[in-house]
């Protein structure tokens, strides 16, 4: 049987304008500034991946990611595509501090492999893909902007709202109440992005409860290194607590399970890559931990790859794959094609994908 190997690699900027700055407690994205990674196999099959660089969250930089991808491109040339697990293991060891680069390479390799095999990506993660529906994020902003964007997304059909908090608890309270008022009691998720202390979080939730608001979930309320604070909130909040920045590796997931530090974990491809995202999800699910699938500021390419993981595995309770709705222009490297499985209400249906991720650049 003819062996199929990686014949060529290419790195290109993946850029797009946003409808408005994407603000969180940690910082903001003013535009989408990512990197696309291409692989071409010896039979001509092409695969595409994306590195979403979120410097204010992970400390990774565009320049370092570009350099690492160039190094990886040289190292994987000539390697057989069937050795993707060995390639993944090597990349995680050598580039442990640049996970978005690892994610981009894994994404491209698995896109190419599943295209070569003529199967959709989700089949690597499960036997039948479920339709999944994303929430929509209400970024940190003033009260007027919060109300306007909330009304607009509700009009478009979104019915779960993820409200960014963590900079100003007084304004945050007003914003959450406004979102609740203008969404006809739709479920609300809070995301503090490490912006509060444990005591601030508990006080904030207590005040919301007094005002008749019970969020469905609160994500990463405290600093990622504050494990005792995370556990305190988990024990006393009265609602599920989701670890995001505190869950950035499989070893973090093991610790969360062992110490009962959170009731949910946000799995992001840019933190785990595709292979270890699957392993982390399996571990957490086995331990009774709920799962969220999320992302950084990503184009439909990486978001849809994440949708394949979640839809294929079928074990994700919370879906946060909404960043395509914050992009105002097509990425400036030729555009994205075949986006037929994401509708205007945030519903992903990857059962329509014939092979690979289903998006070509």
pLDDT tens for each residue of 26-73: 888 899 999 999 999 999 999 999 999 999 889 999 999 999 999 999
State residue 361's pLDDT score. 78
Report the percentage of the chain scoring pLDDT > 90: 90
**5 SS3 class:** strand
State residue 195's pLDDT score. 96
State residue 337's pLDDT score. 57
State residue 185's pLDDT score. 84
Secondary element (H or E) of residue 34:
strand 28-41
Report the percentage of the chain scoring pLDDT > 70: 96
pLDDT digits (tens, 9 = 90+) for 140-156: 999 999 999 999 999 99
State residue 336's pLDDT score. 57
Give the C-alpha separation, 284 to 265, whole Å.
Answer: 8
Confidence of residue 5 (pLDDT cuts 50, 70, 90): very high
Residue 340 has pLDDT above 70, yes or no: no
Which residue in 52, 157, 175 sits closest to 102, CA to CA? 52
Mean of pLDDT over the chain: 95
**92 SS3 class:** helix
Q: pTM surpassing 0.85?
A: yes
Domains detected in the chain: 6-118 (3.30.390.10), 122-352 (3.20.20.120)
Tokens of 206: 């207590």
State residue 333's pLDDT score. 54
Give the C-alpha separation, 306 to 61, whole Å.
Answer: 22
State residue 343's pLDDT score. 87
Whole-number CA gyration radius for the chain: 20
Q: What is the mean pLDDT of residues 317-325?
A: 96
**For helices 84-94 and 269-286, what crossing angle results, to 10°?**
110
Which residue in 248, 268, 273, 249 sits closest to 105, CA to CA? 273
State residue 27's pLDDT score. 86
């Amino acid at each position: 049987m003819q062996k199929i190997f990686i014949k060529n690699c290419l790195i290109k900027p993946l850029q797009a304008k946003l409808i408005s700055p994407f603000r969180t407690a940690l910082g903001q994205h003013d535009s989408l500034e990512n990197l696309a990674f291409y692989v071409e196999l010896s039979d001509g099959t092409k695969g595409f991946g994306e590195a979403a660089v979120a410097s204010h969250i992970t400390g990774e930089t565009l320049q370092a990611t570009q350099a690492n991808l160039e190094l990886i491109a040289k190292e994987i040339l000539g390697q057989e595509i069937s050795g993707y697990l060995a390639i993944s293991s090597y990349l995680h060891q050598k580039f442990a501090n640049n996970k978005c680069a690892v994610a981009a390479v894994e994404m491209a390799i698995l896109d190419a492999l599943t295209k070569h095999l003529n199967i959709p990506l989700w089949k690597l993660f499960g036997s039948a893909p479920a339709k999944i529906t994303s929430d929509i994020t209400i970024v940190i902003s003033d009260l007027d902007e919060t109300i306007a964007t909330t009304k607009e997304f509700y009009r478009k059909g979104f019915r779960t709202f993820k409200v960014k908090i963590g900079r100003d608890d007084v304004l945050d309270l007003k914003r959450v109440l406004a979102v609740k008022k203008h969404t006809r009691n739709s479920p609300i998720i809070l995301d503090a992005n490490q912006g509060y202390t444990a005591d601030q979080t508990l006080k904030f939730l207590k005040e919301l409860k007094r005002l008749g608001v019970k969020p469905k979930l609160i994500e990463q309320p405290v600093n990622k290194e504050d494990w005792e604070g995370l556990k305190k909130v988990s024990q006393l909040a009265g609602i599920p607590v989701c670890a995001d920045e505190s869950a950035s590796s499989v070893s973090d997931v093991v610790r969360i399970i062992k110490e009962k530090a959170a009731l949910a974990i946000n799995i992001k491809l840019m933190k785990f890559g595709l292979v270890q995202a699957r392993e982390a999800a399996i571990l957490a699910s086995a331990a009774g931990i709920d799962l969220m699938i999320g992302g950084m500021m990503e184009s439909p390419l990486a978001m849809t790859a994440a949708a394949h993981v979640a839809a294929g595995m079928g074990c994700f309770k919370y879906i946060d794959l909404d960043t395509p709705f914050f992009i105002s222009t097509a990425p400036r490297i030729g555009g994205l094609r075949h986006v037929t499985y994401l509708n205007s209400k945030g519903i992903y249906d990857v059962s329509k994908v014939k092979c690979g991720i289903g998006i070509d650049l």
